[in-house]
Chain A
Amino acid sequence: MKNEGMTVIVRTVTRFVYGMIILFGFYVIMHGHLTPGGGFQGGAVVASAFALLLVAFGSSGLKGHVNLHWLQSIEEVGALSFLALAFLGIGTAFFYNLLANSGGFLFGASVPAGPNAGVFAAGGLVPLMNWAVGLKVMTGISAVVIIMLIGSSKEETE
């Protein structure tokens, strides 16, 4: 089954929009400890950009631009880094947040109590875990969408 994509209008709009969708997804991941959203949601947003590209340009338009092995490798890196971040605080407990309120340069700031806009450099392990899960979700769902539409081509399986 050959999937050739959609009309010129859809392709043009996709060219304008897909970068912004990816940027918005990274924003949601990056500000997961301040605004609604987080790793799972931002990763799904980024994966939706890949799905839009697939729908607009078809399987032949995306072939050669995406390497499924890379996507899988990044997903495994995300999963393993999530586990490694969880093991960082094993001295106290599994998933202990030892970077929060530590005062260090890596998300170690404190947050004043009560309603406020939030501090970006705070949260300890939470933003790092957001990044790990975000990488994992965006590459995982992208790989699923891509392989369900085009399958792995012959030169990728070799």
Chain B
Amino acid sequence: MRKALLLVIFLFVSAFLLLGVADMRSFGEPQIADMDDYYVAHAQGEVAVNNVVTAVVFDYRGFDTLGEATVLFAAVVGILALFRKPRKEER
């Protein structure tokens, strides 16, 4: 019973994955670039920024930049905590 259930789940998930693979773009086909074309065409009009990379980093994908800043903050705090000299009463 349990094995049959697992088999059904396995087949279900594999069917989903295979469906996704069938819908994927063919490998090594860089001429399909909808997102890039959108950025290049609309960055000057929407963000009023000539540097499209900055427009992507700070506007379209600002959330990713927030994550990067958080990573840097965590690294700095960790290093400062690691390298500080302990006070006398903590020794």
Q: Does chain B have a CB within 8 A of A83?
A: yes
Q: What are the interface flags for B54-69 relative to A under an 8 Å C-beta threshold, 1 for contact and 0 otherwise?
A: 1101110011011011
Q: A148, B50: Cβ atoms under 8 Å? A: no
What separation, in Å, do the CA atoms of A153 and B85 have in the docked complex? 7
What separation, in Å, do the CA atoms of A81 and B75 have in the docked complex? 19
Q: A33, B69: Cβ atoms under 8 Å? A: no
Q: How far is the CB of B83 from chain A (nearest CB, A)?
A: 5
The chain B residue with its CB closest to the CB of A78 is B69
Q: Does chain A have a CB within 8 A of B14?
A: no
Closest 5 pairs between A and B when the two form their complex, measured CB to CB: A95-B62, A118-B50, A122-B48, A140-B76, A33-B49
Known: A126-B47, A133-B69, A144-B80. 20 other contacts (CB 8 A): A33-B49, A33-B50, A38-B53, A68-B80, A75-B76, A82-B66, A86-B62, A95-B66, A100-B49, A100-B59, A101-B45, A110-B48, A116-B50, A117-B50, A122-B48, A125-B59, A126-B55, A129-B65, A152-B84, A154-B85
* Residues from 115 to 133 in A contacting B, C-beta threshold 8 Å: 116-119, 122-126, 129-130, 133
Q: A72, B46: Cβ atoms under 8 Å? A: no
Chain B residues with a Cβ under 8 A of chain A? 44-51, 53-55, 57-59, 62-63, 65-66, 68-69, 72-73, 75-76, 79-80, 83-85, 87
Q: Does chain B have a CB within 8 A of A61?
A: no
Q: Does chain B have a CB within 8 A of A36?
A: yes
Q: How far is the CB of A146 from chain B (nearest CB, A)?
A: 10
Interface of B is mostly: helix
Q: B47, A147: Cβ atoms under 8 Å? A: no
Given the known interface contacts A38-B58, A125-B58, the answer about A32 and B73 at a Cβ–Cβ threshold of 8 Å is no
What separation, in Å, do the CA atoms of A37 and B43 have in the docked complex? 16
- Name A36's contact: one of B53, B55, B75, B83 (CB within 8 Å): B53
Q: A151, B83: Cβ atoms under 8 Å? A: yes
Q: B66, A83: Cβ atoms under 8 Å? A: yes
Q: B51, A147: Cβ atoms under 8 Å? A: no
